[in-house]
Structure formats: C-alpha cells, structure tokens
Amino acid sequence: MNSTAAQIRERAGKVLAVHLAYRSRAEQRGRTPKFPSYFMKAASSLAGTGGTVERPAGTELLAFEGEIALIMGSTARRVTPEAGWDFVSHVTASNDLGLYDIKYADKGSNVRSKSGDGFTPIGPELLDARTIDPTQLRLRTWVNGEVVQDATTEELLFSFGQIVADLSQQMTLEPGDVILTGTPAGSSVIVPDDVVEVQVDDVASGASTGRLTTTVTAGTAGFAAFGNPIKVTDADRIDAFGTATAAGVERPVTGREALTDTVRAQLQEVATATISASLRKRGLNNVAIEGLTATKGTQKVIGVARTLRYVPNREDLFASHGGGYNTQKQAMDSLQPGEILVMEARGETGSATLGDILALRSQVLGAEAIITDGGVRDLSAVEALDIPLFHNGAHPAVLGRKHVPWSIDETIGCGGTTVQPGDVVVADSDGVLVIPPTLVAEVAAEAAEQERRDAFVFAHVKKGHQIEGLFPMNKEWLKKYHEWVDSGADVDSL
C-alpha cells in the first residue's frame, strides 16, 4: 500500500458510499432518486495504487465502479448543504469494487459484497479541496487501457455539499472519514488479469490524482459452507454488467418482472401520449389498441396482458366449444391481481364478448381491467362496477351470434395491434398502449423524464415566457431545468 493510501486507511474511521449519484447511472438503472442513499464499507477494504484484488474462487461477478472520494478534514455534525464542502479537506480517485455473487445475502447492506480486502483502492494523489471546483471535476476509468467511464461532476444528482450535510444529520463525520460519491454509467464486470485504472482531474486547473491502478487476480479460496453460498441470477448479471446485452442475458423478461414498483409508479405519472412518443422513438408505431371507449373515463390502468381469442361463429364449432365451461369462462376464472384481460373479437360490434357477471368475476379476482375490441352486454351494470372496461360498444346478443370462444394466452390481434401474453398494457381514456416487457423500464424512465421536462416548460409558458429557446430548451434553459431538478422543488415553485 502506498503512503497516501496508508495514511488514509490509518485515519479512516468510516467509509461511506452513495448508491446512485450520476444521471447516467440512474437512467441505466431506471430510477432517479429524489434524495441520496448510502451504504458502508469496511475501512479494511481500503488499498493503494498498483495493488491487486482477488476475485474469490467460484465467483464470476466482480465489478468495478470508478468514483470520486472525499476525505473529511474536520468534524461535521448537522451542517448545511451550502457549508458541507467546507468540511472536506481532499479529493482523490477510488474504485468501489463489488462482488454481485454474494450481494443477495447482504439484503441491501453490501457488507460482504463490497467490503472484501482490497475492494476500495484509493489514490494515488490527493487534490486539495480548497484549490479545486467540485462542480468541475472529471472522472475517468480505463479497463485494459480502454476508456469505459468518462463523466464530470456537472452530471451529479446531488452536490458534494449536500451529501456531507445529509450524512451529518444522523452521524458525526470525523477527520479522515472517506465518502465515495457514486459512479456514472459504464461500470461492468472484470476478470482475472484485467487492469482497472481510475483518475480524477480538476478541469479548470489541470490538477490530477494520477491513475489509480488495480489488477484482478484469481483467488484460491471461495465461500465456505458455514456461511451464505454464492448465488447468481440473471438480474444479478444485468446489474453487474450494466445492461442485459452486456450480460448476455437472452431470456425474455416477463411483464411481471419488468413491471416493478418503480416502473409502475413512473408509468402512473406520465401521459399515454408521452409513452407513445417514447415507443415511436424505438420504431414501435403500431402499439395502440384503437377505437375503444373507457367505462371509467380518465382512470389509468396498468397491468400485464392475458389474452382471449374469439373466432367467427360457425355452428358446429360453437356446439363443441361455445357452451358449458368454455374458454371464455376459463379465462375469467384464471385472472390474477395485476393482470388485464385483452380479447380479440376482430372489431365485431354485432355481438357481446362479455356481460356483467363475468366482469364482476374479474373484479373479484383482482384483475386491473378488461379490454375488448368487441361489444359488451349489460353495459350500464358493467359501468357500475369498479373494474375498468375498454370496449367497442354495447350489444344485447350473446356469444353464439358472432363468436366462438377459442383460445387463451396466445398471441392475438386487438384494435389493430398485436398483443402477446405478458405484454405490459397502459390504458386510459386517451389511449391503450401495448409495451414489450424488454422495453418497459427504459420507456417508463424516459417518459418520466420527458414529462418532468414538459411540466417545467409548461409552467414557464404559463408565466409568459416566449417559446423560442424554451421549447425545445436551449443550453441556458437546460441549465435552469437541471438546477430545478437538483433542488427537489415541485412544479408549483416555478
């Protein structure tokens, strides 16, 4: 360990780390936090430049994270964000290494996955905090000589002063404590013999930490049977590599997996028009189920598609498939919370595809909604139910006049587009959209960001600002927008 790192390790009572701090990383993960959150690393994980780090035997997901480290110079307790930077004495480069093979066992604490010996290289040179601009630092990471991360602190979601102040609310930050301030997009998996280098530069002065170098070696010892075993899922691989493509994960993502609480919340807050625009950017122009009426007006529903297909009535086929406990009733009986039943009726309005009893059954089972491009009987009774229905008009006739219930959970056509079981459906009175599960997280994140930008522009237009430069936003307005986002203020403050 070099002298700089040795001094830091000797003085460091705590090593604290921010989960998400850079916009690019937040966008990659599909969530943008309003406030910073943290975890702790063992001080014994600190190491210097030119050293090695072991990937434990039997593991595969050791990942690097190039970061800027703050070294506390004086005691901070309940300080303000404006004053937080004053308590920092130095800045240097760091590498927040983590082992995703054991991350599940930490239950979010990162104690074992992030605190291995040598898992926090730091240095080599310290930059005096008094001589640099914390908003104009550049962070770069190389793996085997290739640049894999390149970002500046202009991209930070939270200022260094805010991070110091936030942590100081609950604990006393002491001289020598180390704060790792998060990583931008580009973090990925490294393997034995890989060489990782991290460097921090002050853009204005040209001062640099120099390259912090760490070489990965293959460990001979793994995890013993008296503790948690290693366990790797596709989700772990995606997190470690950064993207599903980089992780080589080809297994289709199901709608239930894709529709996380974060994604659902993002979709709930954005207009269907914004979601549609995001889908069009990805070349998906035919993902709207068209021509339907909503029984619940503007109420938005979000769920995972189940499908039911009707074929044109043929008397012999209706005799064999239309009566008794047919596929229509089976579909209704099998619905679960979070699901939306989508029915293919070929746009036929001359017969009903369901009535109030089956709609009630769907509601009792917790289904989110029912969508049909055919008719509905007992419309007034169905409208009185809590479950939203999207339909193509009322008709008193039963199935046999135009339809034979035929198949469940197959790819269907409804309202002019294709729907597959497991697709994510977002619907309100403005439209019904079908989103492939593999795209829903990035579409939701992008739509949420666009909605926030639109709200910012709308508020300023309402105040009388001219359109030029504001819509779309030029560099000056973009700077104001990011300052507003960073402040955490709501639209009413504009």
For helices 475-487 and 437-462, the axis angle rounded to 10 degrees is 100
Residue 29 is predicted with a pLDDT of 77
| 356 annotated to a ligand binding site | yes
Q: Are 41 and 120 in contact (CB under 8 A)?
A: yes
* Burial class of residue 213 in the structure, from the number of CB atoms within 10 Å of its CB (0-12 exposed, 13-18 middle, 19+ buried): buried
Nearest residue to 307 (alpha-carbon basis) of 336, 344, 276, 337: 344
* Domain residue ranges in the chain: 3-247, 285-435, 439-493
Task: Copy the structure tokens of residue 437.
Answer: 């599960």
Beta strands in 318-368 (DSSP E): 339-344
- Other C-beta atoms lying within 10 Å of the C-beta of residue 67: 29
Q: Give the span between the Cα atoms of 240 and 221, in whole angstroms.
A: 22
Per-residue pLDDT of the chain (494 residues; tens, 9 = 90+): 666 767 887 888 999 999 999 989 988 876 778 899 999 999 999 999 999 999 999 999 999 999 999 999 999 999 999 999 999 999 999 999 999 999 998 888 899 999 999 999 999 999 999 999 999 999 999 999 999 999 999 999 999 999 999 999 999 999 999 999 999 999 999 999 999 999 999 999 999 999 999 999 999 999 999 999 999 988 889 889 988 888 887 656 778 888 888 899 999 988 898 999 999 989 999 999 999 999 998 899 999 999 999 999 999 999 898 888 999 999 999 899 999 999 999 999 999 999 999 999 999 999 999 999 999 999 999 999 999 999 999 999 877 789 999 999 999 999 999 999 999 999 988 889 999 998 999 899 888 888 888 888 888 898 888 898 888 888 888 888 888 888 888 877 77
Give the number of other Cβ atoms within 10 Å of residue 313's Cβ: 16
Distance CA 41, CA 5 (A): 16
**Nearest CA-CA partner of 310 in 450, 414, 215, 193:** 414
CB atoms within 10 A of CB 479: 12
Give the single-character DSSP code of 298: T
Q: 3-247 and 285-435: same fold?
A: no
DSSP character string of 112-148: HHH-STTSEEEEEEEEEGGGS-GGGEEEEEEETTEEE
Dihedrals phi, psi of 39, to nearest 5 degrees: -145, 170
Instruction: Give the model's pLDDT for residue 285.
Output: 92
409 annotated ligand binder: no
Q: What gap in Å lies between CA 11 and CA 452, rounded to an integer?
A: 43
Using CB atoms within 10 A of its CB, is residue 135 exposed (0-12), middle (13-18) or buried (19+)?
middle
Give the span between the Cα atoms of 72 and 84, in whole angstroms.
10
CA 3-171-121 angle, 5° bins? 25
Task: Classify the phi-psi angles of 378: left when phi > 0, otherwise alpha if psi is within -120 to 50, otherwise beta.
Answer: left
pTM, rounded to two decimals: 0.56
CATH superfamily placement of domain 3-247: Fumarylacetoacetase-like, C-terminal domain (3.90.850.10)
Please name the residue that has the structure tokens 């002050």: 202
In terms of CATH architecture, what is 285-435?
3-Layer(bba) Sandwich (3.50)
Answer yes or no: is 261 a known binding residue: no
Residue 130, C-beta contacts closer than 8 angstroms, at least 6 positions apart: none
Q: How far apart are CA 415 and CA 433, in angstroms?
A: 11
What per-residue confidence (pLDDT) applies to 103? 92
pLDDT at 251: 58
Instruction: Please give the pLDDT value at position 252.
Output: 62
Query: Could you tell me where the DSSP H helices lie in 68-115?
Result: 81-84, 103-106, 111-114
What lies within 8 Å, CB to CB, of 23 at 6+ separation is 32, 155, 156, 157
DSSP letter at 394 equals: B
* 107 CB-near residues (< 8 Å, 6+ apart): none
Structure tokens at 222: 């793994």
Q: What is the spatial order of strands in the sheet that 51-55 belongs to? A: 51-55, 212-218, 195-202, 137-143, 146-152
Q: Which two tokens stand for residue 322?
A: 């239309």
Q: Is the Cβ–Cβ distance between 247 and 241 less than 8 Å?
A: yes
Query: Hunting for tokens 């189920």 — which residue is that?
Result: 289
Instruction: Give the residues across from 357 on adjacent strands.
Output: none
User: Looking at residue 222, what is its pLDDT?
Assistant: 92
Q: What is the pLDDT of residue 335?
A: 92
* 401 belongs to an annotated ligand binding site: no
Q: Are 381 and 356 in contact (CB under 8 A)?
A: yes
**Pair 21, 134: CB distance under 8 Å:** no
